[in-house]
């Protein structure tokens, strides 16, 4: 599969998100969002088997990289994919294993919209609250799954959020640190 600039094989399995092909939203995010800074730290929030994490790890090979997911199988596959792509130093783990003092220069996510609005808002508030002062987050969200209401909610909560681009019903949202 093509991940970012790379044609490669990633380990996947049943029971993780979009195992048989790279999700359209993920592919769009990797193609349309700006590259991460070279110094990091970077976060792939809801990493699944790790296509976003692998791309981030290749683009910014020196930057500390975290990939989190609540699905243990996803974390396991993401770990294997990071190892295979030259990032054995990157962390793939459960969300609560990330030390509380880590602040992210860049967060990328194809977030789990289907967990429901309350849980999604809680998850995003938790991680966007950990953006560094100059940090940026990039989220890909389908319009039919509430991209525009999520944009309004984020702005109301104090995270400046704008639509970076839009394609086939998907939006890339650019989110800045809380103010």
Ligand X SMILES: C[S@@+](CC[C@H](N)C(=O)[O-])C[C@H]1O[C@@H](n2cnc3c(N)ncnc32)[C@H](O)[C@@H]1O
Name the site residues for ligand X (rule: CB under 6 A): 17-18, 23, 26, 46-48, 51-52, 68-71, 74, 95, 110, 112, 115, 123
Distance in Å, CB of 23 to ligand X, minimum: 5
The distance between the two most distant Cα atoms of the chain, rounded to a whole number of Å, is 41
63, 87 Cβ separation under 8 angstroms: no
Nearest residue (CB) to ligand X, 17 versus 159: 17
**Residues 47, 45: Cα–Cα separation, whole Å:** 6
Enumerate the H helices of 129-170 as residue ranges.
147-156
Nearest residue (CB) to ligand X, 93 versus 132: 93
Distance in Å, CB of 137 to ligand X, minimum: 14
Nearest residue (CB) to ligand X, 23 versus 83: 23
Nearest residue (CB) to ligand X, 22 versus 105: 22
Distance in Å, CB of 78 to ligand X, minimum: 8
Q: How far is CA 157 from the centre of its chain?
A: 20
Nearest residue (CB) to ligand X, 119 versus 134: 119
CA atoms within 13 Å, Cβ hemisphere of 165: 10
Q: How far is CA 42 from the centre of its chain?
A: 9
Any idea what DSSP says for residue 34? P
Closest to 90 measured CA to CA, from 63, 111, 70? 63
Distance in Å, CB of 121 to ligand X, minimum: 11
42, 17 Cβ separation under 8 angstroms: no
Distance in Å, CB of 109 to ligand X, minimum: 7
């Amino acid at each position: 599969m093509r991940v970012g600039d790379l044609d490669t094989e990633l380990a996947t399995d049943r029971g993780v998100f979009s195992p048989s092909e790279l999700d359209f939203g993920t592919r769009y995010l990797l193609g349309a969002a700006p590259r991460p800074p070279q110094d990091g730290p970077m976060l792939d929030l809801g990493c699944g088997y790790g296509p976003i994490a692998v791309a981030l790890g290749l683009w910014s090979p020196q930057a500390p990289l975290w990939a989190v997911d609540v699905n243990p199988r996803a974390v396991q596959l993401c770990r294997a994919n990071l190892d295979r792509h030259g990032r054995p130093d990157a962390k793939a783990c459960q969300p609560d294993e990330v030390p509380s003092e880590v602040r992210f220069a860049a967060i990328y996510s194809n977030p789990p919209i289907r967990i429901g609005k309350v849980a999604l808002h809680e998850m995003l508030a938790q991680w966007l609250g950990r953006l560094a002062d100059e940090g940026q987050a990039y989220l890909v969200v389908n319009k039919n799954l509430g991209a525009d209401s999520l944009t309004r909610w984020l702005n109301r909560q104090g995270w400046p959020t704008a639509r970076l681009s839009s394609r086939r019903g998907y939006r890339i949202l650019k989110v800045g640190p809380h103010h």
